[in-house]
């Protein structure tokens, strides 16, 4: 069974640009979560999507946004990139709102110069 | 709000030594608790979980018991191997009225290095 996949693996952007990160959940999983792992700051929750709807949002500015498609894949968009947005962005999926376990992808390394 | 505190690292051990990584939490209600492991250059892998008080999660020789009275979920392994070298994260998933908040709240991570 294929795990959570993310693309691209690495992304280099310039300050002020926009970045788009993509995630495909495990087959059968309807919930997708996004986390930011910045150096020295640990793992911070960004967004949770389930059945195409945003269910919860972490303490991040509105320039972090996303969506979930009918096939349950998801996209994270970061607008007006800042240097401090440089981080590993991890996507996770779970069976649904009643499931406790989240399974993570390998991440997208975003570097803002 | 919810929080997870892990013992400060890094932790360095010799092969076959006993491992304990402490984890305590603060949460309303009865959260589910997890240990995740992150190998260099990879994402997080679920190591084990416990969903209610006194549950013991176990996997690959690692164990952790959900202790509600001490709000703890310490990770243990009787004999570590070089291949266990990684970063270990304790996490919780909180609920309110039976509804999940969805998010995992993580500890700061503990770097484990095992020498031959």
Is A100 within 8 Å of B51 when comparing Cβ atoms? yes
Chain A touched by B25 (CB under 8 Å): no
Tokens representing B81? Answer: 């191997």
> Is B107's pLDDT higher than 70?
yes
| C-alpha torsion angle, residues A33, A26, A94, B67 (rounded to 10) | -110
**Higher pLDDT residue, B104 or A99?**
B104
Alpha-helix runs per DSSP H in A47-88: none
pLDDT in tens, B7-19: 878 999 999 999 9
Tokens representing B64? Answer: 């952790």
Tokens representing B57? Answer: 């999660």
Mean pLDDT for chain B overall: 92
Contact residues, chain B, for A56 at CB < 8 Å: 101-103
pLDDT in single tens digits along all 113 residues of chain A: 789 999 999 999 999 999 999 999 999 999 999 999 998 778 999 999 999 999 999 999 999 999 999 999 999 999 999 999 999 999 999 987 656 689 999 999 999 99
pLDDT in tens, B32-86: 999 999 998 888 999 999 988 999 999 999 999 999 999 999 999 999 999 999 9
Distance from CA of B86 to the nearest CA of A (A): 15
pLDDT at residue B8, rounded to an integer: 77
Residues near A1 by beta carbon (within 8 Å), at least 6 away in sequence: A26, A27
Tokens representing B70? Answer: 């001490």
pLDDT at residue B98, rounded to an integer: 65
Is B109 within 8 Å of A56 when comparing Cβ atoms? no
pLDDT at residue A98, rounded to an integer: 59
CA distances from A98 to A73, A93, A101, B58, B95 (A): 19, 12, 9, 22, 10
- A window 76-95, beta carbon within 8 A of B: 90, 92
How many helices (H) and strands (E) chain B has is answered by 0, 12
How do strand A10-13 and strand A108-112 relate by DSSP bridges?
Answer: parallel
Chain A touched by B42 (CB under 8 Å): yes
Residues near B54 by beta carbon (within 8 Å), at least 6 away in sequence: B65, B66, B67, B68
Distance from CA of A77 to the nearest CA of B (A): 19
């Amino acid at each position: 069974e294929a795990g959570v996949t993310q693309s691209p693996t690495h992304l280099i952007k310039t300050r002020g640009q926009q970045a788009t990160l993509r995630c495909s959940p495990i087959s059968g999983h309807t919930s997708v979560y996004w986390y930011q792992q910045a150096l020295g700051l640990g793992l911070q929750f960004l967004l949770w999507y389930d059945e195409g709807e945003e269910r919860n949002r972490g303490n991040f500015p509105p320039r972090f946004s996303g969506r979930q498609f009918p096939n349950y894949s998801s996209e994270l968009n970061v607008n007006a990139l800042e240097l401090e947005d440089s981080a590993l962005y991890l996507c996770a999926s779970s069976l649904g709102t009643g499931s406790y376990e989240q399974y993570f992808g390998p991440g997208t390394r975003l570097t803002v110069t | 709000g919810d929080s997870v505190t892990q013992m400060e690292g890094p932790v360095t051990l010799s092969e076959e030594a006993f491992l304990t990584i402490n984890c305590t939490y603060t949460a309303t209600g009865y959260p589910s608790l997890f240990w995740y492991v992150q190998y260099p250059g990879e994402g997080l892998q679920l190591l084990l979980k416990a969903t209610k008080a006194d549950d013991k999660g176990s996997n690959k020789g690692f164990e952790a018991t959900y202790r509600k009275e001490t709000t703890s979920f310490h990770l243990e392994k009787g004999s570590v191997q070089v291949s266990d070298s990684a970063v270990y994260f304790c996490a919780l998933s909180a609920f309110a009225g039976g509804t999940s908040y969805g998010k995992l709240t993580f500890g700061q991570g503990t770097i484990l290095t095992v020498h031959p």
